[in-house]
Chain A
Amino acid sequence: MAIPWDLIVIQTVNGIVTGMILALVASGLTLIFGIMDVVNFAHGELFMMGAYIGVVVLVASGSFWIALVLSVISVALLGAAMQIVTLRPLVGRDPLTTILATFGISLILQNYALWQFGPVARKIQEPITGQFTLFYLQYPWYRLLIAALSAAIIGGLYLFLKYGRYGIWIRATTQDRVMAQAMGIPVPWVHTAVFAIGAGMAAASGVLFGPLVGVNHAMGLDWVLKAFIVVVVGGMGNLGGSIAAAIFISLLEAYAAIFVSPAQAVIVSFVVLILTLLFRPTGLFVPTPK
Chain B
Amino acid sequence: MTASDKRHAIAYWTAFGIVMVLLIVAPFILPEFWRRFLTEILIWGLLAMSSDILIGYTGMVSFGHSAFFGLGMYGAAAALLMVKPPNLWLALLYGLVGSAMVALFVAYFSTRLRDIYFAITTLVFSQIFYVIIFTWTEVTGGENGLTFSRPQLGIPGIYTVPFTAETLHWFVLAVVTASYLILRRITRSPFGMVLQSIRENEPRTRAIGYPVERYKMMAVMLSGLFAGLAGVLYAVQNRFAAPDFVFFLISGEAVIFNVMGGIGTLVGPIVGAGFFLVMREGLSRIFGDQFPYLIPLGVIFIVMVIFLPQGLLGFAKRWLNR
Contacts and interface: CB of A to CB of B under 8 A. Distances in A.
Given A86-B306, A96-B116, A278-B109, A105 B135 contact: no
A277 B117 CA distance: 10
A261 B305 contact: no
Given A115-B295, A263-B135, A277 B112 contact: yes
Nearest to A107: B298
Given A100-B259, A111-B292, A277 B113 contact: yes
Interface residues of B, number: 37
A195 to B, nearest CB: 16
A264 interface: yes
Contacts of B63: 99
A96 to B, nearest CB: 5
A101 B295 contact: no
A274 B112 CA distance: 11
Interface string B101-121: 000000001001101110111
A111 B294 contact: yes
A266 B131 CA distance: 8
A141 interface: no
A273 B117 CA distance: 12
B132 interface: yes
B132 A112 contact: no
A189 interface: no
Residues of A contacting B: mostly: helix
Contacts of B147: none
A228 interface: yes
Contact of A267 (B132, B259, B301): B132
Contact of B120 (A39, A107, A108, A266): A39
A90 B306 contact: yes
Interface of B: 61, 63, 109, 112-113, 115-117, 119-121, 123-125, 127-128, 131-132, 134-135, 252, 255-256, 259, 290, 292-295, 297-299, 301-302, 305-306, 309
Interface of A: 37, 39, 86, 89-90, 93, 95-97, 99-101, 103-105, 107-108, 110-112, 114-115, 225, 228-229, 232, 236, 261, 263-264, 266-267, 270, 273-274, 277-278, 281
22 contacts: A39-B116, A90-B306, A99-B61, A101-B302, A101-B305, A101-B306, A104-B305, A105-B298, A105-B302, A107-B252, A108-B295, A108-B302, A111-B292, A114-B292, A115-B290, A266-B127, A267-B131, A270-B124, A270-B131, A277-B112, A277-B113, A281-B112
